[in-house]
Structure 1
Amino acid sequence: YIDLYAQIATDTEFATLVTRLRDANYTAESEVEKEQQYNFAILLMSIWLCCQVAYDKGQIDQATFQIYLDDVEAKLTQWPAIKPYTKQVVESYLTLKDMEIFKPVLR
């Protein structure tokens, strides 16, 4: 997450995108913006996927994994406009839908 937050803190365009995602009713205004939002969803989900894999392989314990499970919920609450994009990613990669970390995306 350090790189993600550094990007938000230092890149005005990226910060603008993330700010828009706070509005649950926000919809992309262009194809470029849709692509940005979709790829931001992939970025977030890549972090979450790494946590799921690490947990499945015994590299992190349940308490640490729970922090990331809670984080998924927190991010979807913080940036509700990203949820349709995260759902689209899960539906595109069927192996993801059975992973515990992505359950909130499908609710």
Structure 2
Amino acid sequence: MSEEIEVQEKIEFDDLKFLRFRPSPSFNPDILEDYDAVIMEYLDSHNVLEAIHKIRSHNEKLVYITPIFLLNEGGYMKDSIIEMVDGVIPNIMNLDYAAATTRKITSRL
């Protein structure tokens, strides 16, 4: 039985803190309180859906309002999942769109 490993990386861009991660069943959304937004690798739609649900149904406002971006380096993504997040990032090298969207979302608080 293989166990999935959740890979995490802290990215600082334009004075914002992003958490890049590969969702796994063990994902704990409590860690998001320290980040402005998340970048989720889209490898498995089931794990992505579970992670989105854990974030959006969390009882802490700082967690459930966290902007979620999908990193699409592999191609096809389900439209139904894209509609549940705040944007899609084609590569990790340019986070201008994610930073602008994050600032827009957090300015409404």
Q: How high is the TM-score relative to the length of structure 2?
A: 0.32
Q: Which has the larger radius of gyration?
A: 1
Q: Which has the higher contact order (CA 8 A, sep 6+)?
A: 1
Q: When you count helix as a share of all residues, which structure comes out higher?
A: 1
Q: When you count strand as a share of all residues, which structure comes out higher?
A: 2
